[in-house]
Amino acid sequence: MTEFNITILGSNSAIFNHGRHPTAQVVNINNACFLVDCGEGTQERLYENKIKWFKIDHIFISHLHGDHYFGLIGLLTTFNLLKRTNKLTVFGPKELKKIIDIQLKVSNTKMNYELKFVATKDDEKRLLLDLPECSVYSIPLHHKLPTTGFLFAEKTEPRLLDLEKIRKYAIAKTDFKLLKQGLDVLDKDGRKVKNSAVTTKGKTPRSYAFCSDTMYHIPLVKAIKNVDLLYHEATFLHEDLQRAKETTHSTALQAAQIAKKANAKKLLLGHFSSRYIDLSVLENEAKTFFKNVELAIEGGVFKV
Ligand SMILES: [Zn+2]
């Protein structure tokens, strides 16, 4: 089965504390690496987690609170110092381009590689990237600043040919492509061959949703319906709901409620407040409402 996993580089909120770092993670699909958020220190975290830097061709920034992107300019310029030549695309709020441009300008940095910027919008679910192995969408979240999550969805796999059964019919090899697409075909005598008679279902495509930062946001459910793995922020315990509302964040219980409503297979909690040293309290709270919960512990690799 194609590799599809998430490596957590940082999952603390706001500041570095208790050995936990600000938000960053790597989504690996079939050896293509996507960096999601880039908090301060992400370069070191990539190194420590033995991520092959040059496999990263796309970086996604959710919003412009510093704990989600203050590591970006360092990483971009390190790529330059390491003589990167292949194109890199950064997706993020439109103001991010101005920030990158001014930092490169005042430091008189000339890039060796093409740096493309794509502005995200937080109004509706939008397709950002369409690759052979997957599609990446931005999904609107509800936070103090314009913020998007990201949904990584494998492509629908073609139907599989059952060669044993195909041999019983006189089907032209040129029609195999149509069969893989799920279409019926005619045999050489002009008789219809039903697709289901000679093919079986391809692999079920998997998906991963990254949702940080956001307060409890019901419209999110539709955008991530039936997701296999959901990373949802759980900055606070529900006893701190008032603080969560003031800061437009979520509680662990609310993250579990979103996971259940979305029919997610598994929930990964992250963006932990520094007020919690032992994170099991957040995990236990979420588990009271949704069974399949794990903490996004740094260095952890989670299969989708
Ligand atoms: Zn934020």
Per-residue pLDDT of 36-81, as tens digits, reads: 999 999 999 999 999 988 899 999 999 999 999 999 999 999 999 9
Which of 67, 122, 213, 228 does the annotation list as catalytic? Answer: 67
The CATH class that applies to domain 4-157+203-303 reads alpha beta
CA 31–ligand 1 middle distance (angstroms)? 29
67 catalytic? Reply is yes
CA 213–ligand 1 middle distance (angstroms)? 5
Taking a C-beta distance cutoff of 8 angstroms, is the pair 148, 140 a contact? yes
Could you read off the pLDDT of 189-232 as tens digits, one per residue?
888 999 999 999 888 899 999 999 999 999 999 999 999 999 99
CA 187–ligand 1 middle distance (angstroms)? 59
CA 227–ligand 1 middle distance (angstroms)? 23
Compute the distance between CA of residue 55 and CA of residue 251 in angstroms, rounded to an integer: 34
User: Could you give the residue range(s) of every CATH 3.60.15.10 domain in the chain?
Assistant: 4-157+203-303
Nearest CA among 110, 58, 118 for reference residue 86 = 58
